[in-house]
Amino acid sequence: MESARTSCLVNWPTLNYQDNQDTFRLIHMASQMIGKIKLTLCSEVNHWWHVTLHVTPTGLTTGLLHYHRFSFEIRMDLVDHLIVIKTSDGGRETIELKDSSVSDLYKKLFSSLSSLGIHIKIWGVPVETEDRVPFEKDKKVRSYNKETVENFVWILNDTERVLEEIRSKFLGKVSPIHFFWGSFDLSVMFFSGKKAPEHGPVPNVGRSVVLEAYSHEGCSMGFWPGMGYGEAAFFSYIYPEPANYKSYKIKPEQAKYSDQLMEFILPYSEVEQSGSDKMIHDFFSSSLQGAFELAGWDKSLLKNIRK
């Protein structure tokens, strides 16, 4: 029997990656700048969990960051269209998100940090993307579509809500639901508890990053707006990929295995048309079930996942 939460109606908004690549480039690079600041300040945690951003009602946040004798937070408020920096001693700086270049955004961010007494250096080159123009040199003025980023936040919030329900059914080691600013996706990863074989190279991703991220067997799922694929989609994969994975009867029927990405894809457009949570709940549930059916995970880790 489906719960009210599982089957609730949702007005999934339109999200067109192809028509808004400038907008996504701006917020992607903004998230990378902010994420690199967090990387500089935080102690290392397994699988790079210490570098991720987290969803808020209005966007993304670094969470609490410590700097010498005070603390601060950087938020990407994609509803008020601001980057907001707040410190524990009452300091506050804002940067408007609007049509601009990556270079201009980069300069404003670090000028604002400096005015608050925060002096940090980062490696100013994008990661996990084919366009590796350094932030400071990316001077092309890009359009910023407010409606697009507001819809993006809406999708992140509703996706996290469904992932929370799936995550609650798992009794083993599982990551937070968090946002990776390199690949620009919201995801969660479940672990079998066993070590994994060494992962092969991944384009545009550092070797040390890959080896740490995939050191143990895992099943990952989440959402991204289209980078590297061309359209917004929900995704899932198991590492290492089990035998016969491509032919696995994942739910719903609209989900297909991508040979390009080596993972299952559920196009966001299908979910938008459905008008409910059920399709992505089925997709995420079925994805995790596949780890038990195909990869031989210990079934005692599974509390009560719906088939």
Distance CA 29, CA 44 (A): 22
Distance CA 134, CA 252 (A): 41
**Number of C-alpha atoms within 13 angstroms, CB side, residue 12?**
24
Distance CA 19, CA 4 (A): 35
8 Å CB contact between 144 and 20: no
Which residue ranges in the chain fall short of pLDDT 50? 1-6, 307
pLDDT score for 201: 87
8 Å CB contact between 238 and 245: yes
The four Cα atoms 294, 298, 302, 303 give a dihedral, to 10 degrees, of: 150
pLDDT score for 8: 66
The four Cα atoms 26, 31, 37, 38 give a dihedral, to 10 degrees, of: 180
pLDDT score for 307: 46
Q: What is the per-residue DSSP string for 72-137?
A: EEEEEETTTTEEEEEETTS-EEEEE-SSB-HHHHHHHHHHHHHHTT-------S--SSS----GGG
Locus of tokens 């490696």? 123
pLDDT score for 303: 80
pLDDT score for 163: 98
The pTM is what?
0.93
pLDDT score for 75: 98
pLDDT score for 304: 62
8 Å CB contact between 87 and 70: yes
At residue 214's C-alpha, the angle toward residues 252 and 132, to 5°, is 90
Q: How far is CA 10 from CA 87, 155, 157, 178, 278, in A?
A: 36, 10, 11, 22, 10
Distance CA 214, CA 17 (A): 28
Locus of tokens 């980062």? 122
pLDDT score for 208: 87
8 Å CB contact between 132 and 16: no
